[in-house]
Structure formats: C-alpha cells, structure tokens
Amino acid sequence: MTNFLLNGAEVSVEVPDGTSLLHALRGPLGLSGPRFGCGDEKCGSCMVLVDGVPSFACTLGTEAVSGKQVTTSEGLGDMAAPHPLQAAFLAEQAGQCGWCLSGILVSASALLAANPDPSEDEIRLALDPHLCRCGSHNRIIRAVRRAAQEMRV
C-alpha cells in the first residue's frame, strides 16, 4: 500500500512491487492526463511533478512517491478554473493532436515556479525532455511565455 498526495488529495493505492507510477495513475487511480509514449524516459508523455520536480512516471516505481506530492495536468486546473498555462495553451491554440500536452504543461509549471520570466532558450531547454511530433513547438513556447507574463501581473 502506497500513500501519497495526488493533486492535493490523499490517496492510497495497492499495486504489485515495481509497478510504475504511470500504471498506478492510469489504472486504479483512474487518471488520463499522464500518458504512455515510450516507457523509457525519452518522450515526456508521462511527465508528472513529484514534490514539484518533473519526473518520468513511466519508470518511477509507485512506492517511490510514498508520502510525496504528485501533480498531474489534471491537478493544474480544470475547465472551470484553468491554470494560467492551460488558459494560455488554449489562447495560443498550442497543440494539434494534444498527446504531448499534459506532460509539457507540468514541466512548464515547474519551470515557471522556479523562473517566472524564462527566456525562449530557457523554455526550450526545460521542454527538451518532451517530444512533440505534430510540430506544435513554437506555439507551445509562445503559450508558456504568455502564461509567464500573465502570472507575473
């Protein structure tokens, strides 16, 4: 049994030893934001925040987040109360298929928490663990800059 805070709520989940956090999140915990892309720390589809740090849920064992705070894109905001990043991604229409977005959103939120006014190069660097095959990169960068600006005022 592993207990942790998932998007602000206490959860406990029982999965066999070695089960990845991604499987626990998508399986018994019923989330859809974190996604499988490679299982190999190469694409960022599964990215979540563990105590605020972007982490690959595909390789992280569920037991490793015991007692920690896990944030997924669902935890950033929802349609009624979107996170500034989510609002900015919609405003910039930053995405095509959208597969990459939940991981990118959590990495971007960690970036903005640490650096409220990142340069374009800093954004690119922070998002380098993420693949986007649709070529939405420039829109995504614009959206992160827009969110940063809105969060600063």
Residues that bind ligand FES (CB under 6 A): 36-46, 56, 58, 95-100, 132-134, 136
101, 95 Cβ separation under 8 angstroms:
yes
55, 49 Cβ separation under 8 angstroms:
yes
CA 38/CA 103 separation, integer angstroms? 13
Whose structure tokens read 């928490």? 113
User: Of these partners, ligand FES, other proteins, none, which one is at the site of residue 46 (CB under 5 to 8 Å by kind)?
Assistant: ligand FES
Residue 15 contacts other proteins per CB under 8 A: yes
Whose structure tokens read 């569920």? 62
24, 62 Cβ separation under 8 angstroms:
yes
Residue by residue, DSSP assigns 69-90 as EEE-HHHH--SSS--HHHHHHH
User: What binding mask, one character per residue, do residues 102-121 give for other proteins by CB under 8 A, x or -?
Assistant: x--x----------------
User: What binding mask, one character per residue, do residues 32-51 give for other proteins by CB under 8 A, x or -?
Assistant: xxxxxxxxx-xx-x------
Return the residues of window 119-138 that contact other proteins according to CB under 8 A.
123-125, 127-128, 130-138
**Closest residue by Cα to residue 21 from 63, 84, 81, 82:** 63
Residue 150 contacts other proteins per CB under 8 A: no
Residue 61 contacts other proteins per CB under 8 A: no
Residue 65 contacts other proteins per CB under 8 A: no
Using CB under 8 A, list all residues that contact other proteins.
Answer: 15-16, 19-20, 23, 26-27, 30-40, 42-43, 45, 72-74, 77-79, 82, 86, 89-90, 93, 95-102, 105, 123-125, 127-128, 130-139, 141
